[in-house]
Amino acid sequence: MLVTKIIKRTFISLILLLIIVATFGYVWLSSSKPILEGKLPLNGISQAVSISRDAQGIPLIEAKSRTDAAAALGFLHGQERFFQMDLQRRNSAGELSALFGKAALKRDKQIRLHQFRKRAQEAIKRAPEQHQAIYQAYTDGVNQGLQQLGNVPFEYNLLGATPRLWQPEDTLLTVFSMYLDLQEHNGIGERSISLLKQHLPDDLFAFLRPNGGQWDAPIDGTIGSMSPIPSSTWPLDENATLAYQALNDMEPEDLMPGSNNWAVAGALTPYQSGMLADDMHLGIRVPILWYRAHIKWQEKGKSHQVVGVTLPGAPILVVGSNTHVAWGYTNSYGDWSDVIRLKTNPEQTQYLTPEGYKNFTVSTETIQIADATPEKLTIRSTIWGPVIAEEADGNLLAYRWVAHDETAANLNFLALEKAESVEQAFALAPSLGMPAQNMVAADKHGNVGWTITNSIPVRNGYDGRYISDWSDGSQYWQGKLSTDDYPKIINPEHDRIWTANSRVVGGDMYQKIGDGGYALGARAKQIRDALFAKSHFTEKDLLQIQLDARAIFLSRWHKLMLEHIVPKSQHPEKKQILKELNTWSYSANKDDLGYLLVRQFRLKLKDLMFNHLVKQLKAKDESFQFKSTQRYVDNALYLLATKQPEHLLPPNFASWDALLEQALTDSLAELDHEFGDWKQLTWGEFNSVAIKHPLSQFVPFLGLLTDMERQPQSGDTFMPRVSGRAFGASQRIVVAPGHEENAILHMPTSQAAHPLSPYFGAGHNDWLNGTPTPLLPGKGRYELTLMPNQ
């Protein structure tokens, strides 16, 4: 009896303790929630600003000036997204170690070479007076938003850190962080392609790196040529061990930061206005990168407004509409950087230039490290850019990158907000301070077009795809392309524009843009064909193209497996494999197993086919990345699998049949290893989306509050509906300028970063299920007024 009472009292005590802990945790967490309602003072604004949030937390900001609107947006970003903004600025400044300790030190050392904080500070000083006022207003809004929280954002308490106030240059660091997402900071693609070219016979290199092929779908119709099967064989290093070692590189070639966008002219819409669709593909986490907003203001007696997505850390609209013009972006993958092989003196204290040997400019950066002593980093720079690496043979490599230019980051987007036509928007495009993008725009007059944003370097004397030598003056950047010569297409005869990270144009325009690693083109072709399948489009029609998960790219691989590979296979589960292949839906449907089998077989075949080549190249330079060289490898892979030339059979395989059988066996065995039994799988279970807070994997149980529920999803790479486990469409928008009331926008996770926000997670399932939810905010539920502090 006594024991029973003790157990009962202990149990009750534990329950009470859990209640007390939970209550304390709730109160503590609640103290950092954003303020949604009431009146608050805000230093720096000239007149009151109203903020009306709907049920999903999407704000309508109404201000009397653009400066006041910037302050209000800064206030919202500071209240709702400060930790995310902090990560963005620290990422590009190389200052993550101050939060995360030595785990981030290697990354910080790589990024600090570019000295982006210094560049951002200098850019702020050069900015015109109007832009400086916007920078400062936004900064003041961010800091007051942060300071008016009842407690610092909860992440800082978990890290034992104190948030550092926002500075005007941090806005530009946010832009530089997008450079790091969308372009290479270390030239690894150019270095890897150069190594591949150096060690392969010309015909074999051309076979793996063709100029184009069946998936080409540029707007101007220029189709590149596939390369035939070469007569040369694989190079074999007699000193290298030939023991088989799979790469285990099971990522599709199209898994890359990018996007889809397209536009149809007014003749094809219900309004006679052009219509734009845009979905940007990035890594997805909680919170999502973007913050939705509808902003209205007055300027010189005229009303202005923009609606779409903003980037926390910056006071401008990134993608959306101003009711006259709608615009969106995809990563261009033009050639915006060059790796330069330096000629140095024996001591490597000087490097050769056209004017003779020069001393390196040497500077020192101090990297702060949480719970550790700061470390010094010595940076050597040239007249062309910083030294970024040393090759295996000791040669130093410098980096010329547009991100280092004075025009790399700015607030010229403010002028875009007031553009009234595609022509006006494109006149501004060369001056937009952002990573060079495919800009697609549509206006209310029915016009549509494509161009490139930011400055375009003009090369002289060399092919920018490979490492170059600038020491004798015959190879260099000859300034920037004149705005009059910019590549652009406006109102093509077919009334349709599309881009999807692949080559958009050929001929002279392609030569100006260069090749920085284009996507294969399968997505672009599928989008193009869908656009030509109809002669009239509504917003929902364009959303359906964004949600298109048909697996056209894998169709020929499916046929090859079904008709040739599996029938000849000795696999014990051959009948079940054939059954799944025969019932495949020809799409990456979440309920489909056949799609998964075809996809994994192809990836494993690629893995086995090239492992010997990659192994040898890595032995020559461990920095070699096959991922950077394989964007067009599918045509070569398919020809090898179907034509089976004996001289190109990879080492360690007795026959082509043996290689294909191994690819089938291994692909299924790996599914069994990860999931238990491949026969019980579906594509959606394999590809279930897992969107997490960046700290949830390090803090026990945090994910229960912050992470989105893991859910199966349709879509994959090589199709318009790009989706991965933590990668995919970071938003989808469809809008005809002037008809925003019918426009569509949804995005994963939600507006909120705080797990106790009333709209945390709101809208996530709309994104997951492809529900056509409105672009404009709904009825106001939370009313907040920011008052000038008299």
281-320 pLDDT per residue, tens: 999 999 999 999 999 999 988 999 999 999 999 999 999 9
DSSP per residue, 163-184: PPPP-HHHHHHHHHHHHHHHS-
pLDDT of residue 5: 64
How many Å is the maximal CA-CA distance in the chain? 97
Please state, in angstroms and as integers, the Cα–Cα distance from residue 442 to each residue in 277, 296, 411, 744, 773, following that order. Answer: 10, 21, 22, 15, 21
Please give the structure tokens belonging to residue 294.
């509808």
The pLDDT of residue 586 is above 70: yes
At 720, is the secondary structure helix, strand, or coil? Answer: coil
pLDDT at 29: 87
Identify the residue with better confidence: 226 or 52. 52
Q: Quickly count helices (H) and strands (E) in the chain.
A: 24, 26
The average pLDDT across 635-645 equals: 97
| CA–CA separation, 689 and 684 (whole Å) | 9
Core vs surface per residue 754-784: b (16+ CB within 10 A) or e: bbebebbbbbbebbbebebebbebeebbbeb
Backbone angles phi, psi at 16, to 5 degrees: -60, -40
* pLDDT reading at 74 higher than 90: yes
Rounded Cα gap, residues 115 and 94, in angstroms: 8
Q: Which of 723, 689, 718, 638 is nearest to 254 (CA)?
A: 718
Contact between residue 584 and residue 592 where contact means Cβ atoms under 8 Å apart: yes
Write out pLDDT tens, residues 200-214.
Answer: 999 999 999 999 999
pLDDT given for residue 249 in this prediction: 58
Handedness of CA 493, 494, 499, 503 (dihedral sign): negative
Is residue 51 over pLDDT 50?
Answer: yes
Bond prior to 312 in cis (omega within 30° of 0):
no
Q: What is the mean pLDDT of residues 19-46?
A: 82
C-alpha 220/C-alpha 488 separation (Å) is 11
487 contacts: CB under 8 Å, gap ≥ 6: 451, 452, 456, 505, 509, 512, 513
Query: For the residues 416-420, what does the mean pLDDT come to?
Result: 97
Could you report the per-residue pLDDT of 232-280, keeping only the tens digit for each? 999 877 555 544 455 555 677 667 777 999 999 999 999 999 999 999 9
Instruction: Indicate whether 9 pLDDT > 70.
Output: no
Angle at 743 between CA 497 and CA 766, to 5 degrees: 105
With a CB cutoff of 8 Å and minimum separation 6, the contacts of 673 are none
- Residue 3: is its pLDDT beyond 70? no
Distance CA 9, CA 67 (A): 62
- pLDDT for position 243: 47
Pairing of strands 488-490, 496-499: unpaired
Helices (H), 94-236: 97-100, 105-112, 116-126, 129-147, 154-159, 168-182, 188-199, 202-208
What span, in angstroms and rounded, lies between the C-alpha atoms of 528 and 217? 7
Note the pLDDT tens digit of each residue in 438-486: 999 999 999 999 999 999 999 999 999 999 999 999 999 999 999 999 9
Over residues 771-782, the mean pLDDT reads: 98
Question: Strand 732-735 relative to strand 317-321: parallel, antiparallel, unpaired?
Answer: unpaired
Amino acid at 276: L
Q: List, in sequence order, every residue forming a beta bridge with 60; answer none if it has no partner.
A: 52, 294
pLDDT at 244: 44
Amino acid (1-letter code) at residue 102: K
Phi-psi region of 613 (alpha: psi -120 to 50; beta: other; left: phi over 0): alpha
744 bridge partner residues: 734, 774
Instruction: Kindly state the helix (H) or strand (E) to which residue 684 belongs, with its residue range.
Output: helix 683-686
pLDDT at residue 676, rounded to an integer: 93
Which residues contact residue 347 at a Cβ distance below 8 angstroms, ignoring those fewer than 6 apart? none
Cα–Cα dist 144/73, whole Å: 11
Q: Residue 685: its pLDDT value, please?
A: 96
Cα 387 to Cα 385: distance, rounded to the nearest angstrom: 7
Spell out the residues 6+ positions from residue 547 whose beta carbon is closer than 8 angstroms to its own.
715, 720, 721, 770
The pLDDT of residue 674 is 93
- Give the integer Cα–Cα distance in Å for 425 and 450: 10
Residue 62 confidence class, pLDDT cut points 50, 70, 90: very high
Strand arrangement, sheet containing 396-401: 337-341, 396-401, 387-390
Cβ proximity of 310 and 779 under 8 Å: no
Three-state secondary-structure class, residue 779: coil
- Structural tokens at position 220: 């101007």
Q: What is the mean pLDDT of residues 334-350?
A: 97
- Among residues 175, 240, 620, 60, the alpha carbon closest in space to that of 411 is found at 175
> Coil, strand, or helix at residue 401?
strand
pLDDT at 24 over 80: no
Q: Distance (Å, rounded) from C-alpha 56 to C-alpha 50?
A: 17
pLDDT at 250: 63
Tokens, residue 222: 């220029």
Strands (E), 697-747: 727-729, 732-735, 744-746
**How, if at all, do strands 38-42 and 782-788 pair?**
parallel
| Rounded distance between C-alpha atoms, residue 72 and residue 78, angstroms | 10
Q: Has residue 331 got a pLDDT over 50?
A: yes
**pLDDT value for 257:** 74
Report CA Rg, the chain.
Answer: 27
Q: Give which of 614, 642, 635 is closest to 213, Cα–Cα.
A: 635
Nearest to 79 by CA among 54, 49, 57: 57
8 Å CB contact between 724 and 715:
no
Nearest Cα residue to 705 out of 660, 757, 629: 757
Summarised one tens digit per residue, pLDDT across range 475-516 is 999 999 999 999 999 999 999 999 999 999 999 999 999 999
Terminal CA-CA length for the chain? 71
Q: Give the DSSP per-residue string, 569-614.
A: ---TTHHHHHHHHHT--SB--TT-SHHHHHHHHHHHHHHHHHHHHH
CA distance 429 to 423: 10
pLDDT digits (tens, 9 = 90+) for 104-153: 999 999 999 999 999 999 999 999 999 999 999 999 999 999 999 999 99
> Residue 760 has which token pair?
């945390």
* pLDDT of 25 higher than 80: no
In this predicted structure, what is the pLDDT of residue 11?
A: 58
Read out DSSP for 468-492? B--TTSSSEEEEE--GGG--EEES-
In the numeric block, the tokens 């790399």 are attached to 408
